[in-house]
Every structure is written in C-alpha cells, then in structure tokens.
Chain A
Amino acid sequence: MKIGGTYAVPFVPERAFELLQDPAVLCRCMPGCESLTKTGDGEYAMQMKMALAAISGKFDGKVRITESQAPTQFRLAVEGAGKIGFMKGSGLLTISPSGAGSNVQYDGDVQVGGTIASVGQRLVETTAKMLIKRFFDKLGAET
C-alpha cells in the first residue's frame, strides 16, 4: 500500500533532520514505542505496544535509517512483528524549509501481514495515516 503526505513542523530543516535522527525522539514520537536500542549504524531494535480501541498487541521490530543526506532527506524503514500480525514500512522523508519551520514530506510503502491484514482491511490505511499523523504531532511538540 502506497502512502504519502506532508506535515509542517516548527523547526528549521537542520533541527528537524537532527530530531528525526535521534532515537530518543523517534521513540517518544512513535505511537506505542516502548524502547529503541541502537544495534548498529543507523539501526535500532524497537519494542512497541500498539493499542487502538480494544485492539492491542506487542511488536518487536527494527528501525533503520539509510540514504541520509543532511538536512534534506533520509529513508526511514520500520518493521515489526507480533502475535496479531506484522508490518513493514519504508518511506523517503524529504525536508524543506517553509516559513519559520519546515515541511516534512513522506512517500512510502506499507505492507501489513497476519491477522491484522486479513481482517482489518477496511481500517489499515486509516490507521496507518492516523499513526503517522500522531508521530508528526508529537514531533512538532518536541523542543
């Protein structure tokens, strides 16, 4: 599933880029992220607990940052698997100045599998968009 959008954040590109590469910030902003541990260059192990309405599930996964070109773009890949299914997403984030802040444009692919894919079809896209929105909302609140 293709997914994309643009969010405004109140930081200059350099600062936005820096925040987006900071595992502590990523973990604070990713909905449900419980821990993010560096495992290599641009690679992190992640534990997530997703809760949406009555649905809940724990995911173990990885976050990988590649194709970094400070301060304008990088690729963020996130994958996780748990009992209720697995997800894999990879997106190119492009940061451009906009007024006093920046616009972060993302363009990516999300693949979902397991129970959530087979029974959650009508909600997968809505949910993915919502989680990304929450991520940027939280990012915007960083200082």
Chain B
Amino acid sequence: MISNAFSYHTPETLEEALAMLEDGGGKILAGGMSLIPLMKLRLASPESVVDLRRIPGLKAITEEGGAVRIGAMATHHEIEISPVIRGKCPLLGEAASAIGDIQVRNMGTIGGSVAHADPAADYPAALVALEARIRLRSANGERTVEASEFFVDAFTTAMEAGEIVVAIEVKEEEASEGFKYEKVAHPASGFPVVGVAVRVKKSGAGIAMARIGVTGMGPHAFRARNAEALLEGGAGAAAAAAVVGEGEETNSDLYASGEYRRHLARVHAGRAIAAALTRAL
C-alpha cells in the first residue's frame, strides 16, 4: 500500500476516539475494506486514521428485551455465524453471508459498511427491511436513526461530523416470519448489482406483514413500501414484485443499466418473496 503519509491512532476508549476526530482531519478505520483501497489509490488521503479495534465492547452481539444489539465492529463473518443473529434476526445473517468473499467477511465490519454507505452494499437492504436503528455516538452523547432515514444518498448518511456508529439495533424477527436475501453479484466486485431482502408474516392464506428492502438498484437502499402494501393487501407476489422500484432513481454502470437493475430488482423481489413465504410458518 503506497498511500499518502498519515498518522495512525489506536484509541482505547470511544471518548478518546471522538476527541481525535475533533479537528476534522481524521477518518475512522473499522475493517478497512473500503477505506484502505481508497487510500491505496490515493482517492482518500486522510491526515490521520483512527482505528477502533482496541476499543473494548464494540464487537459484542447481544440480545435484550426482544432486541438484538450488534456492535459496530462485529465482522460480517461474526454476524454470519452468530447464534444470536441466527436465532433472532436471521435475515441479517443471510445478508452478511452474501458479502464479498471470505477474506472481506473476516475483516469488514457492519459499522464500517453502514457508515460508508456504498450504494451497492449488501447490509442496507436487510437493515431497512428489519427496520433497524443505527446508534450513533458523538461528544454530545448518543442518538439513534432509523435505517430507512439513515441512508440518504450515495455515500451519504444522516451522520453528522464527529459521530461514530457504535451499534446497530434490530428488533427480533418473529419465529413465524419467513425471510430471504437475494442477490445478483457483480462478477468483478462482488457487490450486489441488486440485492433484495424480504420479510413476511403469514396470516391464514394472506400476508400480515411484509418488508422489502432493496439495495444496489439506486443511489441508496430503500424500502419498497408500495410492494409491501400490495402484499399486505392481498395482491399476489407477482403483482407486488412488479412495482418494486417504481419512482425510484437507478444507478447504471458498464455492467448493468438502470433499466436492467430495476428489472432485476423486480425479478429477484418476486423470487425472494416466494422463498420467504416457503420459510414462513
């Protein structure tokens, strides 16, 4: 790595880390899966890098009072294999297991991923479908932001300068829910061209609850509320899938146009809904 020169800090407490960010020249290093490549390319040249790995407690995945709290420094692999996640919010584990490759999953963290807000990250689809909350800490204290309000635009979140993601909070999925994360991986980067996360709860022959999160299609992850409403209102999976992404902006690149991404979001929403329904009790 032939980056620009930078100073490297390993604070032992969050307070120390926050103090180090005060001058505005520092970048938080979590797993480094986005920051380090950017620094290698010299697209990012922070004056200082504040590595959170020595701060105790930031990795913990715990469950209390019907909610799961995932420390920001938990790696994708830890989330993928966590019994708590598997038992209480398996959709998140399924999304984690689809990220990049094993090396990336061993290094990358959920806090780093949500803070970076890559429009093609995997987690945001699951997080908006899970109605997760992002817990932020700054010198002024803590606050939480709903996932659907957190991802504002490409690489743009509701975070203010001087804030650090400390945890992700997810309400337990009910045991009777079905879930599915479906992804079309870009053949080079492994990022989702589109990723669709679905939760459904059956009620008799109908659907009592549906949540659909979509990533990769547009500049930020979004909930397909129109499709959710159709499902909950008794329309079939096909009819619901057909409106996913309506009115949303699309990304396009060499590999996939915006039109194709929207189409893929619909096809894979249909498939994810069907898969989730087969898992629902």
Interface positions of A (Cβ within 8 A of B) = 52-57, 83-84, 115-116, 119-127, 129-130, 133
Contact = CB atoms under 8 A, between A and B. Distances in A.
A83 B4 CA distance: 12
Contact of A129 (B38, B45, B118, B249): B249
A56 B186 CA distance: 26
The A interface, classified by DSSP as helix, strand, loop or mixed, is helix
Contacts of A133: 153
A117 B38 CA distance: 14
Contacts of B71: none
Interface in B175-205: 186, 189, 191
10 contacts: A54-B39, A56-B43, A119-B41, A122-B189, A122-B255, A123-B119, A123-B253, A125-B253, A130-B156, A133-B153
A133 B153 CA distance: 11
Contacts of A119: 41, 43
A87 B252 CA distance: 19
B117 to A, nearest CB: 7
A110 to B, nearest CB: 13
Main SS of the interface on chain B? loop
B114 to A, nearest CB: 12
Contacts of B45: 56
B86 interface: no
A104 to B, nearest CB: 18
Nearest to B28: A54
Contacts of B35: 54
B155 A52 contact: yes
A137 to B, nearest CB: 11
B1 to A, nearest CB: 14
A55 B251 contact: no
B60 interface: no
Contacts of B249: 129
B44 A54 contact: yes
Contacts of A130: 153-154, 156, 219
A125 B43 contact: no
Contact of A55 (B44, B153, B255): B44
B254 interface: yes
B43 A127 contact: no
A121 B252 CA distance: 10
A53 B153 contact: no
A119 B189 CA distance: 11
A59 to B, nearest CB: 13
A123 B186 CA distance: 14
